[in-house]
Chain A
Amino acid sequence: GENVEQHPSTLSVQEGDSAVIKCTYSDSASNYFPWYKQELGKGPQLIIDIRSNVGEKKDQRIAVTLNKTAKHFSLHITETQPEDSAVYFCAATFTGANNLFFGTGTRLTVIP
């Protein structure tokens, strides 16, 4: 069935280091892959997304890469700052589905 796996579940990095979160998906026809950031006490907010016709997308310190052959996509945060501390969710569409399917989340802690 449809599945999105996300790793790691927790990640601690020193301020200024990079953080990488990885997700794999099960449907080779999936074509939309958003990433959400959820800060404490708030709902998830879209931070970046990628569609299946591109392999990489960057927005300042955040980038997402997509490997369609291997069916995985990754979030890369460079020069991490304490305000990057949050829970991050990946998601993917699946053929015939009416909704996004979400990963289980990664709690990122940036240590000052």
Chain B
Amino acid sequence: DVKVTQSSRYLVKRTGEKVFLECVQDMDHENMFWYRQDPGLGLRLIYFSYDVKMKEKGDIPEGYSVSREKKERFSLILESASTNQTSMYLCASPPPGTRTDTQYFGPGTRLTVL
């Protein structure tokens, strides 16, 4: 079974703080994705990575950066958190050799920025 884990289920941060969201997958997948989920907007792609140290912007990258120093770990960074970044953040990883096939999702991190 593919397992995607996220470091925190719930986070509360203050405006201006630097926030790190961690995602780990245990299946040696090359592709990993970060989505943001908001009511009425569905899942929107923030960034994805197709290999160690490789990344590409998704649809809504503004205010975010990512890091992938090891294949199994993909981090989402909010350089200076703002209240409009309060959301559910989902990490996902598809099977090897594909980016657009089945996504295996982590449990999500619900971030609140005060």
Q: Which residues of A contact B (CB under 8 A)?
A: 6, 9, 32, 34, 36, 41-46, 49, 89, 93, 97-100, 102-105
Residues 92-114 of B, flagged 1 when their CB comes within 8 A of A and 0 if not, give 10000001111111111000000
The listed residue (A9, A99, A104) touching B100 by CB distance below 8 A is A99
Residues 46-67 of B, flagged 1 when their CB comes within 8 A of A and 0 if not, give 0010100000101000000000
Residues from chain A with Cβ under 8 Å of B103 in the complex: 34, 36, 44, 46, 100
* Chain A interface main SS type: loop
Cα–Cα, bound, A97→B43 (Å) = 15
Pairwise interchain contact A6-B100, C-beta atoms closer than 8 A? no
Cα–Cα, bound, A49→B104 (Å) = 13
Task: Say if the beta carbon of B33 comes within 8 Å of chain A.
Answer: yes
Cα–Cα, bound, A26→B40 (Å) = 19
Residues from chain B with Cβ under 8 Å of A36 in the complex: 103, 105
Which of A34, A97, A100 counts the most chain B CB atoms within 10 A? Answer: A100
Pairwise interchain contact B108-A99, C-beta atoms closer than 8 A? no
23 chain-A/chain-B pairs, Cβ below 8 angstroms: A32-B100, A34-B102, A34-B103, A41-B108, A42-B107, A42-B108, A43-B108, A45-B105, A46-B102, A89-B42, A89-B43, A98-B99, A98-B100, A99-B33, A99-B45, A99-B58, A99-B100, A102-B42, A102-B43, A102-B44, A103-B42, A104-B40, A105-B42
Residues from chain B with Cβ under 8 Å of A104 in the complex: 40-42
Task: Say if the beta carbon of B81 comes within 8 Å of chain A.
Answer: no
Chain B interface, number of residues (Cβ within 8 angstroms): 26
Report the minimum CB–CB distance from B105 to chain A (whole Å). 3
Pairwise interchain contact B101-A6, C-beta atoms closer than 8 A? no
Q: Known A32-B100, A98-B100, A99-B33; judge A44-B105 contact (CB<8 A).
A: yes
Residues from chain A with Cβ under 8 Å of B104 in the complex: 46
Cα–Cα, bound, A29→B104 (Å) = 24
Report the minimum CB–CB distance from A75 to chain B (whole Å). 15
